[in-house]
Amino acid sequence: MAEAAQVAMEKAEVPTEESAAPKVSRRKLIIIVAAASLLLLAVGGSAAWFFMKASSAHESDDEDAPVAEAKSAADAKGKGKGKAKENVKDRKPSAFMNLDTFTVNLQSEGNDRFLQTTIVFELSDEKTAELIRTQMPIIRSRILLLLSSKNPAELNSLQGKDKLAEEIITEARKHFNSKPPDQGLLQVHFNAFVIQ
């Protein structure tokens, strides 16, 4: 019986030692998992911060790129003419001049087709607007002649409209008694463009 008791105690001690060993390894496992989780959170947070910072820097570079290109173009123009360099950010907002609606017959074979459009000049300042107003009857006449020389096929595409806008700028700049406002007349915009 003593032998049986001793064997029973050995068996009882063995499970006790086995149950203590997993508790220690479970604690270590929990600590390791928690440390690894914290490490992953820290690395993930750092990576997110890095990529967001890089993304915002890249976006600001993209936003500054047109300004830098415009500034370099303005610098190139300024060097050739001996003018002071103009900072694009310091430039005043554009002024706009609405022209009356133009309605003209287009060049078409057989069918009577016409164009009705409203043109807006984008100008650098009000001084240019005054200069253009003094020559408006001539400019309006030249634009009417230009529009009536077009056929509908030329004006249906976006490229055709862009080309027409450039031609209108050229015509508007031709008829000035003083120096043409090359820098003053910036763009031509169409508020309405109907071909029937």
Report pLDDT digits (tens) over 4-29.
555 555 555 545 555 555 556 888 88
Same domain, 96 and 57: no
Buried b (16+ CB within 10 A) or exposed e, 56-66: eeeeeeeeeee
For the record, the structure tokens of 35 come out as 């440390």
**pTM of the entire structure?**
0.52
Same domain, 120 and 60: no
**Res. 68 pLDDT band, cuts 50 70 90:** very low
Same domain, 96 and 184: yes
Same domain, 97 and 191: yes
Same domain, 61 and 139: no
Same domain, 84 and 99: no
**What's the structural domain count of the chain?**
2
Domain that includes residue 137, residue range = 92-195
Which spans in the chain are helix H?
Answer: 2-81, 126-134, 136-148, 152-155, 158-174
Same domain, 53 and 120: no
Residues in a beta bridge with 123: 95, 185
- Distance of alpha carbon 142 from its chain centroid, rounded? 35
Report pLDDT digits (tens) over 165-190.
999 998 888 866 555 555 678 899 99
Counting Cα atoms < 13 Å in the Cβ hemisphere of 127 gives 9
CATH code where residue 162 lies: 3.30.479.30
Which of 75, 91, 107 terminates a domain? The answer is 91
